[in-house]
């Protein structure tokens, strides 16, 4: 199985934890989702085969499904372009997207208490700085989804910010608009996924300006940006079967790693089980076969 860790194309613009972006004409990018995998904001030494294809093609699916709710940056799947001279393994992981002026905030929405929200709750009794009931169990559903933004760090860890801090960064009106879009999109995705037997516990979104209008960019509702749980086995207070990279996080925590570079390499069985989870999430949510 091919694993795409690095790309080397003309006109590079940016290389992030997972995506490599190249300029494509005056107003478009070629955005490639590699098979790199990060955990706790650190890129791991080895990748997961097919991961990039899942991220790109699942984002394509959701972008198309929600295009009437909010504009997005998607132009076309690279494999559907006849004017691109790309290796197939690159093309199946790539999208041609419109250039956007990114808003430097991660818009996080939480429907269930887990991950860093659970850690904060155990130590402070709060989530995103908001007071919570005293009797919550890990995995409990919030009465209403919570909007808990973070910084968008180029390197190192994203840091939680308050709504007031976000307002100071991007303005009151933009903060309100991003919050409303985030909650709207999450609710749409949550309901859709529940019909497919998957709980979207939380997710993060990115937005930017295209033609002076806010648009959804980057990736959307993928197993890299979200926590997907198997609804059939959902039971708060217990370890929940998942279709995302929580499996990798759990393994890394079991190694005693301090979440700072360098990260340990994933053994082959963990890589394969992660790949299987990503592919299963894609197939169950989209009903499609990965290309």
Predicted local confidence at residue 246, as pLDDT: 84
Within 10 A of 276 (CB to CB), how many other CB atoms are there?
Answer: 14
Please report the DSSP string for 87-127 in residue order.
-HHHHTTEEEEE--EE-SEEEEEEEE--HHHHHHHHHHSEE
* Structural domains of the chain, ranges and CATH numbers in brackets: 12-99 (3.30.200.20), 102-244 (3.30.470.20)
β-partners of residue 98 are 28
- pLDDT of the chain, 291 residues: tens digit per residue: 789 999 999 999 999 999 999 999 889 999 999 999 999 989 999 999 999 999 999 999 999 999 999 999 999 999 999 889 999 999 999 999 999 999 999 999 999 999 899 999 999 999 988 899 999 999 999 999 999 999 986 665 678 999 999 999 999 999 999 999 999 999 999 999 999 999 999 999 999 999 999 999 999 999 999 999 999 999 999 878 888 888 899 899 999 999 999 999 999 999 999 999 999 999 999 999 999
* 3-state secondary structure (DSSP) of residue 64: helix
Predicted local confidence at residue 159, as pLDDT: 87
Predicted local confidence at residue 90, as pLDDT: 97
Predicted local confidence at residue 82, as pLDDT: 87
Predicted local confidence at residue 152, as pLDDT: 81
**CA atoms of 48 and 139, how far apart (whole Å):** 27
CA distance readout (Å), 175 to 45, 107, 117, 130: 36, 10, 21, 18
Instruction: Say what the pTM is.
Output: 0.93
- Give the distance from CA 25 to its chain's centroid: 27
């Amino acid at each position: 199985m091919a694993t795409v860790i690095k790309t080397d194309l003309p006109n590079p613009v940016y290389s992030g934890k997972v995506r490599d972006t190249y300029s494509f004409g005056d107003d478009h990018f070629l955005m490639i989702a590699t098979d790199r995998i990060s955990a706790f904001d650190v890129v791991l030494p080895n990748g997961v085969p097919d991961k990039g294809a899942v991220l790109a093609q699942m984002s394509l699916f959701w972008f198309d499904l929600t295009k009437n709710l909010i504009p997005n940056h998607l132009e076309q799947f690279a494999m559907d372009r006849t004017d691109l001279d790309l290796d197939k393994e690159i093309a199946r992981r790539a999208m041609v997207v419109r250039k956007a002026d990114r808003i430097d905030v991660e818009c996080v929405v939480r429907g269930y208490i887990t991950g860093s929200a659970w850690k904060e709750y155990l130590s402070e009794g709060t989530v995103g700085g908001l007071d919570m009931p005293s009797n919550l169990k890990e995995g409990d559903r919030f009465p209403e989804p919570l909007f808990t933004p973070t910084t968008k760090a180029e390197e190192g860890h994203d840091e939680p910010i308050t709504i007031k801090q976000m307002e100071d960064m991007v303005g009151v009106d933009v903060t309100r608009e991003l919050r409303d879009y985030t909650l709207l999109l999450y609710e749409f995705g949550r309901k859709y996924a529940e019909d497919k037997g998957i709980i979207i516990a939380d997710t993060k979104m990115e937005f930017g300006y295209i033609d002076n209008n806010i648009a959804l960019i980057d990736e959307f509702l993928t197993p890299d940006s979200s926590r997907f749980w198997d609804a059939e086995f959902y039971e708060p207070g217990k370890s929940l079967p998942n279709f995302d990279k929580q499996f990798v996080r759990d393994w890394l925590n079991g190694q005693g790693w301090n979440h700072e570079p360098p990260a340990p390499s994933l053994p082959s069985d963990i890589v394969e089980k992660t790949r299987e989870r990503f592919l299963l999430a894609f197939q169950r949510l989209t009903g499609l076969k990965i290309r």
